[in-house]
Amino acid sequence: MRGFYHKYQKVFLLLFIVIATSIITSAIFLTFTSPKDKSFQLPVVEEKAEVKSQLSPTAFSFGSDSSWEKAIINVNKKVAPAVVYIDTVRTVKTSPLVPDFFREFFGPEFFNSFKEREYQQQGTGSGFIIRDDGYVVTNYHVIENADKVTVNLKGGKKYEAKIVGADKKFDLAILKIEAKGLPYLEIGNSDSLEIGQWVVAIGNPFGLHETVTVGIISALNRSLSSEKTDGGYLIQTDAAINPGNSGGPLVDLNGRVIGINEAILSNAQNIGFAIPIKLLSDNLDALISKGKITHSTESNKPWLGIYMQDVNEDMTSYFKLPFKNGIYIGRVVKDSPADKAGLQTEDIITQVNRREIKSGEELASLIQKMKIGDKISLLVWRNEQFKKIDVVLEARPEEE
């Protein structure tokens, strides 16, 4: 036995050293890799839990199943049956265009035999039903000068419509079709809208019926008029609005109408505008009962008559302007006070009555506080030099 021990003594010693070394190594590894501060464990899980606790439980809830996709589908199902597609026919007259050279050569009497030509122009637009007895809302420009208006309902039924009320200034029109028991839309509250709020536009762009687009409210109180003396009231959205969408509804995620799609900027993308529904609600009775909206205060408002844009850093750098603020004139309205005073396109207004002017809103506010007949002194940058121009304010025309 002793011989056996001596024989394998070195083997047992070596085996003992290997086992001891393994145990010590494992202990050291566990000591340095185990977290001493338990708050360090799973930091990602703790961060997510913290963020989750800060979110409103209804912030991203769109329906019973909290599905964004389902929310849009539900809006379309609710709204689409009351959206209509409008076809119009109008008579357009044209005169032959004869160059002055031929008139001088043949004499003006030779061309008197050429008569005006007439042709039928077709148009299309959108609208929506607001009462079950056949009252339909659309834009004024959709039915302007139309000889015939046809309303097409979802499902294919067509009705010839009567124009019962229209207003060019607000671009509103009310049509009436002889039908009852129609689906109609719920009117929302455009006064409570917020920038960033999701909206849905439904209409007939380019004749493509039942087109649904989605976007957000990009801005509020916008203006497309030549001046901002009225203050802007339009809703700006990036929901796609194309030709043919005019007159269709802009709705919230509950399917309530908050705007009437009106216009786009032709040289831009994802910039559309809608008339707030409150403007229609406030004037609906007048449109139906009187056929028009009376703008009694228009003749008391002073008017300048320019399309304007604020001067920005890019413009200052490009034109190498010696100033940073001003108002760039994009167009002067013909026969307006600005036109009569000699203001020109590409002029830049830098001062009004010796007061530095920084924006179109500031100029509009100043004019709004003035009276018809007041004279304003403008400092204008033209052809790399300043020029003083006096303008006498006049009453704002009804059509403007």
Edge-to-edge strands, sheet with 148-152: 158-160, 148-152, 83-94, 117-131, 135-138, 172-176, 162-167
Which DSSP string do the residues of 90-117 spell out, in sequence order?
Answer: EEEEE-----HHHHHHH-GGGGGGPPPE
- Per annotation, catalytic residue among 87, 167, 171, 252: 171
Q: Give the Cα separation of 59 and 327 in Å (integer).
A: 41
CB atoms within 10 A of CB 63: 15
CB atoms within 10 A of CB 371: 9
Q: Give the Cα separation of 310 and 348 in Å (integer).
A: 9
- Per annotation, catalytic residue among 126, 190, 226, 246: 246
Residue 229 near residue 301, CB atoms below 8 Å = yes
Q: Is 171 a catalytic residue?
A: yes
Q: Is 141 a catalytic residue?
A: yes
Choose among 297, 281, 291: nearest CA to 395.
297
The conformational region for residue 255 under phi > 0 = left, psi -120 to 50 = alpha, else beta, is left
- Per annotation, catalytic residue among 67, 141, 223, 238: 141
Q: Is 246 a catalytic residue?
A: yes
Catalytic residues: 141, 171, 246
